[in-house]
Amino acid sequence: MIKVSHARRRSVTRNSITVGLATGVYGISFGALAVTNGFSFTQTQVLSLGLFSGASQFALVGIVGAGGGAFAAIATSSLLGARNGLYALSLANTLKLKGFKKIIASQLTIDESTAMSIANNDDEYLSKRAFWITGISVFVFWNIATAIGAFGAGLVSDPKVYGIDAAVGAAFLALLWPRLVSKEIRVIGLSAALLAVVLTPIFQPGIPVLASALIAVIAGYKGFVKNA
């Protein structure tokens, strides 16, 4: 095993905490949006602690706030969160966890912790270190920020006046944009968006999102995306 320098360990720690802080602060918008859409402070905090998946959380409160049913909200949220299961499979050989640690790691397996772990996969120790520090940092900062956002929105008589309700669209655009890395993926994204726009006036909130996801499934089945 190659000995890891103190400077490298310190760099990984610093970068992981920085990512955690930068990501966690975004929880302010989720907390504010949830309260704006009718969730109580307690419901918002429990949702953030238990679900802990940004895209899934925004989808759930956005659909409920728009008048969508529970099925559409839960199904869409679950669909967006399914990627975390794939992340867990890719990290299994690196983390090699058992028992209670495996349960904790499953909650911390998100985009950021996975990315930081993979970025340091030249060394198993550093890869594990990056995963745990990033995951814990995001969890702590995200939930603190959620509480701040929810509390702040609760003090405003009508948060929608400040445009907080528009955070869902902005959040999904921010999540989607970095992933449009090839012509094939851009075509799929545009097709899914057009389908959602067409179906939105016809079906209740949430259903158009689920329907548009079928385009990605069909594209994957047909082998349309080769380098995604």
DSSP string of 35-75?
A: HHTT--HHHHHHHHHHT--HHHHHHHHHHHHTT--HHHHHH
pLDDT of residue 221: 66
Q: How far apart are CA 76 and CA 58, in angstroms?
A: 10
b/e string for 74-86 if b means 16 or more Cβ within 10 A? Answer: bbbbebbbebbee
Residue with token string 């449009």: 180
Q: List, in order, residues 6 or more apart from 18 with CB less than 8 Å away.
A: none
pLDDT of residue 228: 44
Q: In tens digits, what is the pLDDT along the chain, a chain of 228 residues?
A: 456 788 889 999 999 999 889 888 888 888 988 998 889 999 999 999 999 988 889 889 988 888 888 888 888 888 888 888 888 998 999 999 989 999 999 999 998 999 899 989 889 999 999 999 999 999 999 999 999 999 988 776 565 566 655 555 665 566 566 667 788 888 888 888 898 889 888 887 777 777 887 887 787 766 655 544
In the block, tokens 């902005």 appear at 170
Rounded Cα–Cα distance for residues 75 and 72 (Å): 5
117 with 109: CB under 8 angstroms?
Answer: no
pLDDT score of 227:
47
Q: What was the pLDDT predicted at 192?
A: 86
pLDDT at 146: 95
Q: d(Cα 43, Cα 49) in Å, to the nearest integer?
A: 10
In angstroms, the CA 91 to CA 71 distance is: 31
Cα–Cα dist 193/216, whole Å: 11
Q: How far apart are CA 199 and CA 102, in angstroms?
A: 41
d(Cα 44, Cα 144) in Å, to the nearest integer?
Answer: 12
